[in-house]
Amino acid sequence: MNPSEWFTEIVPVAQSAFSLKIKQKLHEEYSEFQHLEIYETEEFGNLMVIDGCTMVSTRDNFFYHEMMSHPALYTHPNPKRVWIIGGGDCGTLKEVLKHASVEHAVQIDIDERVTRLAEIYFPELCESNNDPRADLKFIDGIKWVKDAAPNSVDIIIVDSTDPVGPAEGLFSEAFYRDCFACLSENGMVVQQSESALYHLKLIGEMRNAMSNAGFGHLQTLFFPQCLYPSGWWSATIASKSDLSTFREQDSANKAFDTVFYNSDIHKASLAQPEFVKKVFSLK
């Protein structure tokens, strides 16, 4: 396909590709850390691409942002302090701050340019950036967690790119140990864990690393995300406390709007496909 008319992300591990028809390229730059591109597409609104990989679009970002935030926040008994590692487009921050219990949300992204471009091309995702509970930091998230004091945070959301380049260290046992050390009594970390269809081995390795870091309770949830490889994505929660129930009534009676997430979706996302069970035992 003509690259002036289509953006295509090729996924070598699966010998597949995903394309969106574009109207025009709106912006391109090389930041200190990565290659950033913004396109206007025919049907998906604006599209952000980092190092050749699709990151966020106007049309379908709600799947990812809602499922990276609300399941964890409704599983924790009383989430007050939340950190988002990555998440420079600010969509996850927006969802987190819909919860009235949250008193302080810190977003830590190493690349400020991602946020500044999101403010221009995805302003709807950045509408909570000036919330008095929000604190945006443009520093190394791995170092932030490593230097944090015990009992500093209730939930850590790792809204990262794929486990290469600046994000590689966010998928390590050492990082999970640092998360465990600074989390509160019922603390949990939730991390995007790629596609179960394409990256099941990675999910298994993540879960083992989380267990080895001290987390006794794990939960992997699944949701659609057509922009990402295979169209089927996941997030994995590692917790110090039981994950078998969530605040279902609070979820059902939530005082804010969502596009995808609700209490039934929460329960459905935890269903375990047979082929996943056969590869490793989900706890």
Taking the C-alpha atoms of residue 38 and residue 51, their distance in angstroms, rounded to an integer, is 12
Question: Which position among 60, 154, 159, 178 bears the catalytic label?
Answer: 159
How many residues are present in the chain? 283
Taking the C-alpha atoms of residue 117 and residue 114, their distance in angstroms, rounded to an integer, is 5
Q: Which two three-digit tokens encode residue 19?
A: 């394309």
Rg (CA), the chain: 18
Q: Is 147 a catalytic residue?
A: no
Per the CB < 8 A criterion, the answer to whether 49 and 36 are in contact is yes
Instruction: Cite the active site residues.
Output: 159
